[in-house]
Amino acid sequence: MNNLLEKINRASIKFLVPQTPAEVYSTIVDEAIKLVGADFGSIYLYRENGGDELEKVYANQPFLFKIKARKRGFTFKAFKANKPSIIDTESIEKIHPEIKRKGIKSIIYIPLSYKNSSIGLLSLDSLKRKYFNSKGLSILRLFGSMASLAIRKNQLYTELTQAIVNRDLFIAMATHELRTPLTTINGYVQMLKNRIPDELPTEKRWVEELSWEATRLTKLVQELVQVEQAKTGQLQYSWQECSFRVILSRAFTDFRFTHPGREVIFADLLVGQSDLIVADFDKIMQVIINLLDNAAKFSSPAHPIHVTLKGDGNIVTLKIKNRGKGIAVEELEKIFEGFYKGTSGKEKSGMGLGLFLAKNIIDQHHGTITVHSKPHKETIFEIKLPILKGIDGRI
């Protein structure tokens, strides 16, 4: 028994290696043939396609593709019953003359199922009459469970990969098509803002709202463009010596303009230390603004946002802390993934791209960005960047 389990285990280990669908099918048939000493093997998968159908997706011999699964045949019955079965070929030689020509005498069917639902069938053939027995059935039943998982895992991976390809293609096309009309819309909005007099406060407020939404949409499209560039390695950087304090000052100015009245408490603990970094000024500022926006979005206006800047040897550290709903433990490792927006809370504006871009940008600066959170208490984002050595950057 131990020897049998060892054989099945060795066969199943091969499924752990990433494979194409054809490679998975080939591995299943080859290993199944070795386990029971069969001669030929095939894999059928269920396809709805408007009607019940078992499609032969793999066979280790070309002639096997000529043998089709009939809806009233043994193959389809074994699939529907979701139970293994052994048949002698004498009763089907007239229906499938190819079986007789190739000398197949015995066939064993092993259903492939996932979560108690049949997904297909493994068929093994022998040139010997009454070759398969209950022992072979037991071996293949156990092996079939592992083969089913391998097929389903591969199917899910293929579906996910294709979905990602389709999503990225849509994003590329959408951003390309949206940029031109957005430029026109923003242009006309600015003209309206300049032409509506203060004597028309209602109309002026409408145009301000329109301007705000047009700007927000433009930023979303820009994020999509940057995500595409980051994924393909085409996101361009303009490197220069920068004062981290100056970047922060600019970010605070932008934040106060978009969040008037929101309190930010800044503690500069870089006493006598350099704040010079080699960076892309605009992209680091973009990261900080994004973190400030998130802090404002997910915390009460009654609580100030705390920002701390400090140094530790050759590293400058920025912490942005807010008191709010926090982030669930199971979501902490996912928030830097593209398009991940979390499952808690009602505020779902945006597309979950800001933190993905932030991590990509910080990584390119040879730094780190991490998050620490206590649900319903506080969230702290921490950025660490290398300081330019040997220069006193205090301003």
> Which position has the higher pLDDT, 97 or 225?
97
**If you average pLDDT over every residue of the chain, what do you get?**
84
Give yes or no for residue 220 having a pLDDT over 80: no
CA 383/CA 318 separation, integer angstroms: 5
For 240-386, CATH gives 3.30.565.10
> Which position has the higher pLDDT, 228 or 346?
228
Q: What percent of the chain has pLDDT over 90?
A: 32
Give yes or no for residue 381 having a pLDDT over 60: yes
Query: In which residue are the tokens 């386990």 written?
Result: 35
Q: SS3 of 380, please?
A: strand
User: pLDDT digits over 10-55, tens only?
Assistant: 767 777 777 889 999 999 999 999 888 999 999 999 887 656 788 9
- Does the pTM exceed 0.85? no
In this predicted structure, what is the pLDDT of residue 376? 82
User: pLDDT digits over 148-186, tens only?
Assistant: 999 998 988 888 888 877 777 777 777 767 777 888 888
Contacts of 279 (CB under 8 A, 6+ apart): 239, 240, 242, 247, 365, 385
Mean pLDDT over 202-209 rounds to 86
User: pLDDT digits over 243-273, tens only?
Assistant: 999 999 999 988 888 888 899 999 999 888 8
Q: Any idea which fold 2-157 has? A: Beta-Lactamase (3.30.450)
- Using CA atoms, how far residue 133 sits from 111, 145, 370, in Å, is 16, 19, 59
CA 249/CA 74 separation, integer angstroms: 76
Residue-by-residue DSSP string for 34-77 = HHHT-SEEEEEEEE-TTS-EEEEEEESSGGGGGS---TTSHHHH
